Structure formats: C-alpha cells, structure tokens
Amino acid sequence: MSRSPFRDDVLAGQVALVTGGGTGIGIACARELANQGAQVVIASRKPANYEPAARGLSEELGRPVTGLALDIRDRDQVARAVDQVLESHGRLDILVNNGGGQFLSSAEHISPKGWDSVIATNLTGTWNLTRQVADRWMLAHGGSVVNVTMLTTRGFPGMAHSVSARAGVEALSRTLAVEWAPRGVRVNCVAPGIIASSGLRNYPAGLELGRQMQSTIPFKRLGTCEEVAWTVAFLAGPGAAYVTGQTLIVDGGRTLWGDGWPVPDPDELPEVTLPRQPWEPE
Ligand SMILES: NC(=O)c1ccc[n+]([C@@H]2O[C@H](COP(=O)([O-])OP(=O)(O)OC[C@H]3O[C@@H](n4cnc5c(N)ncnc54)[C@H](OP(=O)(O)O)[C@@H]3O)[C@@H](O)[C@H]2O)c1
C-alpha cells in the first residue's frame, strides 16, 4: 500500500459514499477519502464484502467507516440507502460510483439476460444512485460525483456490454456536468486501465492474464488500487474545483500506445501480487 500524496485534512467535514467500497479499488477509494478527512460510508450487496472492510478500515483509521447493504440496481433500496446516510451523517458531499462488474464474453455469446444485467448494474445502477443523491442532497447543497468506468475509447473486445454501459456513464457525466453546474455539482469519471485488484480474481486465470498484460502497457506494470483512488480523490476534492464532465484515464499509457513505437520489456517484468487487507485471510 503506497502513501497518499494528499494532505490529511483536504476533505475534513465532508461525507462520502463509495459503492463497491468493500473490495479492491473501492476499499482504496474509501481509505483515501477517509485519510483526507472525509467521513466515509461504503455500500455493496454482500455483507461478506462490506462488513469486514468497514470494520478493518475503522480499526486502521481510528474512526468509524460505516458499511451499508445496497444493490444499486434496486431503486427503492437506493432511495433508502441515501436517506440512511443523510439521517446518520447529516449531509452527502461526495459520491463515488465504483460498484460494478461484468463477465468476459465475445459479443456473439452474450445472452439477453447477461446484457441486461451488465447494463442494469453499470449504467442504470450509476444513474439510480446519482439521481437519488442529487435529488435528496446535491442539487440543493452542491457536491461531487466521481464515476469509475473503464477504457472506452478503443472499444473493449470481450466486454461489449460493459464498455457500452461505461461509455454511457461517461456521456451521462458530460451531460449532468452542464445541467448541474449552476447547482454546484461536479460530475467526472476515472477510467482505470488494468489494475492489480480483487476484480482480477473474477476472471478465469485473471492473475496470469494480468502478468501477460504488463507487456502491453508502456509503464510495464499493472496499476495499483491506490493509483486509481488518488485520481478519484483528486476529482472528488477541491483540487479539481474547476473540473467537470471529464474522464481521467489511469492506465500507464496503455490507451495511447500504438504499434509504431517499440517500448522494450525490461529484463524481468515485475511480480504481480494482488493486495490483501490486514483482515483478509491468506
Ligand atoms: N480492476 C481493473 O482492472 C478494472 C479496470 C477497469 C474498471 N474497473 C472497474 O472498477 C470498479 C471496481 O473494480 P475492482 O477491480 O475493485 O473489482 P471488484 O473487487 O470486483 O469490485 C466490484 C465491486 O462492486 C460491487 N458491486 C457489484 N455489483 C453491485 C451492485 N449491484 N450493487 C452494489 N455494489 C455492487 C461489489 O460488491 P458486492 O459483490 O458486495 O455487491 C464489489 O465490491 C468496477 O466497476 C470495475 O468494473 C476495474
């Protein structure tokens, strides 16, 4: 775990909600926002994810991080969750829409159910929560929304459903950025490249895939969850006060690199290790 490059009081007095905050990139975002002084609530479907993370982060930070059950696809649950945060914390300044997921498949093998499910989570789920937080708090008081997407500019073979949903989220963010600017609400996205996170475990041979992918990245290594979280926190906070409707790509140059310029592999590529929280078993 690398040290935060930010001051520890940048977000003092603010309240942040991080979806998918019980695993991988979400934990790193929760930790980073809390380290910068925010009170943090993490929310996801499975208590097995958000409960140990909320407990572990609370112990680590010496102040409470709250865990909440939430399926972002369910509008009633979303409304209740936002009310709960407002009742317990009194405000909601930062929303990180990080919760999401997909499965690898060629487009021709994606079933209607598989397509609907990935769109429901990654596009509609993001909309559900953003809209409820806006209606219930941000349109009256201002705030900052950061959506974690994926690399969309070249398409994403093997993930037609998810890249469509994420490109939708990026277009939604540009739109809301303009509509909600007069209300003091900024909306931005962070598009991670290939990150050494718990998410890689969801794919068959994910770790091996990660090792192979290092060669395709000019930095010659995978990104870390912290490197994504720093960008999320930057966009969420006052350092990005004049930034809205943007997507910041965090990919070690992967999107930019074409075939025309060789970037040699080092003699040895680094070992890929996935982060394990202090409270997670070996
Ligand atoms: N790792 C990468 O290389 C990479 C690259 C590009 C984009 N991303 C995106 O970055 C985000 C975080 O990824 P990660 O690598 O940290 O993977 P991860 O560990 O699989 O995180 C996904 C999180 O989303 C939550 N989630 C899934 N469906 C949900 C729902 N319906 N309602 C609420 N929460 C839900 C999961 O928790 P529950 O199961 O408890 O609900 C989990 O905590 C994801 O959106 C992912 O697609 C990751």
**Residue nearest ligand 1's atom 24 by CA:** 99
Question: What is residue 218's predicted lDDT score, i.e. its pLDDT?
Answer: 96
Question: Ligand 1: which atom is nearest the Cα of residue 19?
Answer: 34
Q: Which two tokens stand for residue 36?
A: 């910068």
> Ligand 1: which of 72, 197, 250 to mutate, most ligand atoms within 8 Å of CB?
197
Q: Is ligand 1 within 6 A of the CB of residue 67?
A: no
- Nearest-atom number in ligand 1 for the CA of 101 is 47
Q: Centre a 10 Å sphere on the Cβ of residue 275 and count the other Cβ atoms it contains.
A: 15
Does residue 54 line the site of ligand 1, with CB under 6 A? Answer: no
Nearest-CA residue for atom 42 of ligand 1: 20
The predicted pLDDT at position 73 comes to 98
Pair 235, 185: CB distance under 8 Å: no
The identity of residue 211, as a single letter, is: R
CA dihedral 195, 243, 12, 28 (to 10 degrees): 0
Per-residue pLDDT, 100: 98
Average pLDDT per run of 10 along the chain, which is 282 residues long? 87 98 98 98 98 98 97 98 98 98 96 98 98 98 98 96 98 98 99 94 86 94 98 98 98 89 90 92 84
Q: Determine the pLDDT at residue 199.
A: 86
Check residue 200 and give its pLDDT: 86
Q: For the domain made up of 15-194+223-249, give the CATH fold.
A: Rossmann fold (3.40.50)
What is the 3-state composition of the chain as percent helix, strand, coil, each rounded to the nearest 5?
Answer: 45, 15, 40
Residue 132: the pLDDT is: 98
